[in-house]
């Protein structure tokens, strides 16, 4: 693959080069699931910390503070979920009980902490104040992000009317923006709270009787408002409600930051590669959903239905927008460029169809994703994602421009209609 962002005819997601500094080998430890989850938690937390450092560089960019908040918050939030599950796996040993633990708690931090707390009573009693603060923080977090999706997507989808089995009336869906009003989040306080929460849980995992006092500096509020002008994220603009673009930008550019960091500091690739891939992968999913929801010819209900049904399937989502892309591009289904794009889509789908290969060390059945050594070329993978992201962004811009032009023509036509009617005598 080349060094440009142009779609190539022979993309190879798993291609490796002879450049040893760009190669990473991933292999899990099937006999130590707790350590696997703990390692992932450390990697996601480290990635969040690097994004934070980038945001608070010598010349903070206000627009990035507002946009990157979504990817940053997800990285921190996911690191807490992973380390909580790591604690659980230290004490829950039977496979059936482990599956029940995962199924019963899902992504809910409050419930995961409740499940593991009986196993860590000595650590809790050693610092009851820290535990109570953690419980309050997680309870407040659950009001905004119980299912770990408030920072991955712009809105949630609910069924407001079930399909009637005795009629042809289809299901009806509604969407609700996760941030439906402008909110000025104290980003510095948010980051500090996430770091403190992780430190408390890390002590539980390592069974270290260390007293963490830092929690006393912060209110156990998940998204506390306030902060300085250059230390806050403003989200939930009313004029961009339910829009995908800030999320696409946040995830894709945050992944770029991690890749650039690995390029400069080669030794970090073992810890940053998986989070980088997840950010890129979610950016691709968001980009396709942006086209589906905002630019395709589907009506509102049909678009929501497809997003709900296709879930994380890159291939199914692509198939949902392909006909509209072909029509807007003025080409055909067998266009060579589109066939090349579909090679990217197919390879990514085949490798990570459920969007969990770069999110957890195991699948839902707790089978390791990388039970055998898997070799990746960091630069090649980043380039693969970058080329597909660039293409989808270009498609979205093209379709948006054409849709706006069509809307202007229709508006002008409607405005002229009454004048034309004046010529007719009814």
366-375 pLDDT tens trace: 999 999 999 9
| CB atoms near residue 279 (< 10 Å) | 26
- What distance lies between CA 253 and its chain's CA centroid? 12
From residue 122, give the alpha-carbon distance in Å to each of 90, 190, 195, 208: 15, 28, 22, 10
Beta bridge partners of 184: 234
Token couple for 238 = 């009313």
DSSP 184-249: EEEHHHHHHHHHHHHHHHHHHHHT--PPP-GGGGS-S-TT-B---GGGEEEE--GGGTT-SHHHHH
Region of poorest pLDDT, from 65-79, 102-116, 221-235, 306-320: 221-235
C-alpha closest to that of 187 among 246, 231, 140: 231
Cα of 228 vs its chain's centroid, Å? 27
How is 300-320 classified by DSSP, letter by letter?
HHHHHHHHHHHTT-HHHHHHH
**Per-residue pLDDT reduced to its tens digit, 93-118:** 999 999 999 999 999 999 999 999 99
Whether the predicted pLDDT of 228 surpasses 70: yes
Question: Hey, what are 14's tokens?
Answer: 């798993």
In the predicted model, what is the mean pLDDT of residues 214-218? 96
Say what the pLDDT of residue 418 is.
63
Per-residue pLDDT, averaged over 259-269, amounts to 96
Q: Note the pLDDT of residue 190.
A: 97
Q: At CB < 8 A and 24+ separation, what contacts does 87-94 make?
A: 87/34, 87/116, 87/119, 87/120, 87/201, 87/204, 87/205, 88/34, 88/112, 88/115, 88/116, 88/119, 89/33, 89/34, 89/37, 90/34, 90/119, 90/205, 91/116, 91/119
In 34-171 the beta strands, taken as DSSP E runs, fall at: 155-161
Q: What is the pLDDT of residue 63?
A: 86
User: In the prediction, which pLDDT does 426 show?
Assistant: 45
Indicate the pTM of the whole model.
0.93
Cα(124)–Cα(120) distance, integer angstroms: 6
Evaluate if residue 239 carries a pLDDT over 70: no
pLDDT score at 2: 47
Report the pLDDT value the prediction gives residue 166, as an integer from 0 to 100: 67
Task: Please state, in angstroms and rounded to a whole number, the distance separating the CA atoms of residues 139 and 136.
Answer: 5
What DSSP state is assigned to residue 48? Answer: H
Q: Express each pLDDT in 383-421 by its tens digit.
A: 999 999 999 999 999 999 999 999 888 888 888 776 555
With a cut of 90, say whether residue 180 has pLDDT above it. no
């Amino acid at each position: 693959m080349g060094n440009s962002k142009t779609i190539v005819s022979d993309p190879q997601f798993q291609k490796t080069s002879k450049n040893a500094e760009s190669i990473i080998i991933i292999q899990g430890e099937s006999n130590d699931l707790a350590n696997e989850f703990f390692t992932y938690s450390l990697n996601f937390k480290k990635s969040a910390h690097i994004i934070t450092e980038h945001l608070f560089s010598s010349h903070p960019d206000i627009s990035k503070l507002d946009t990157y908040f979504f990817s940053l918050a997800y990285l921190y939030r996911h690191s807490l979920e992973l380390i909580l599950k790591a604690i659980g796996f230290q004490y829950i040993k039977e496979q059936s009980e482990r599956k029940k633990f995962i199924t019963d708690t899902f992504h809910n931090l409050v419930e995961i902490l409740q499940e593991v707390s009986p196993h860590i009573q000595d650590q809790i009693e050693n610092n009851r104040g820290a535990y109570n603060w953690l419980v309050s923080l997680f309870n407040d977090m659950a009001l905004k992000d119980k299912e770990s999706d408030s920072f991955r997507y712009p809105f949630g989808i609910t069924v407001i009317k079930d399909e009637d089995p005795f009629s042809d009336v289809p299901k009806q869906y509604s969407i609700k923006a996760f941030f439906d009003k402008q909110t000025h989040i104290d980003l510095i306080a948010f980051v500090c709270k996430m770091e403190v929460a992780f430190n408390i849980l890390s002590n539980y995992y390592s069974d270290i009787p260390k007293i963490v006092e830092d929690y006393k500096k912060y209110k156990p509020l998940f998204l506390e408002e306030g902060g300085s002008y250059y230390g806050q994220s403003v989200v939930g603009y009313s004029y961009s409600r339910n829009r995908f673009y800030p999320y696409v930008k946040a995830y894709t550019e945050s992944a770029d930051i991690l890749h650039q960091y690995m390029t400069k500091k080669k030794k970090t690739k073992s810890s940053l590669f998986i989070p980088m891939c997840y950010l890129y992968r979610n950016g691709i999913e968001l980009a396709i959903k942006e086209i589906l929801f905002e630019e395709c010819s589907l009506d509102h209900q049909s678009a929501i239905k497809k997003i709900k049904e296709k879930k994380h399937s890159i291939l199914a989502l692509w198939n949902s927008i392909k006909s509209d892309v072909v029509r807007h591009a003025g080409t055909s289904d067998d266009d060579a460029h589109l066939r090349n794009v579909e090679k990217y889509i197919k390879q990514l789908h085949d490798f990570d169809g459920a969007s969990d290969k770069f999110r957890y060390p195991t699948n839902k059945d707790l089978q390791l994703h990388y039970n055998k050594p898997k070799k990746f070329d960091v630069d090649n993978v980043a380039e693969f994602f970058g080329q597909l992201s660039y293409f989808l962004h270009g498609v979205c811009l093209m379709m948006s421009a054409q849709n706006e032009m069509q809307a202007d023509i229709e508006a002008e036509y409607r405005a002229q209609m009454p004048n034309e009617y004046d010529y007719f005598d009814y």
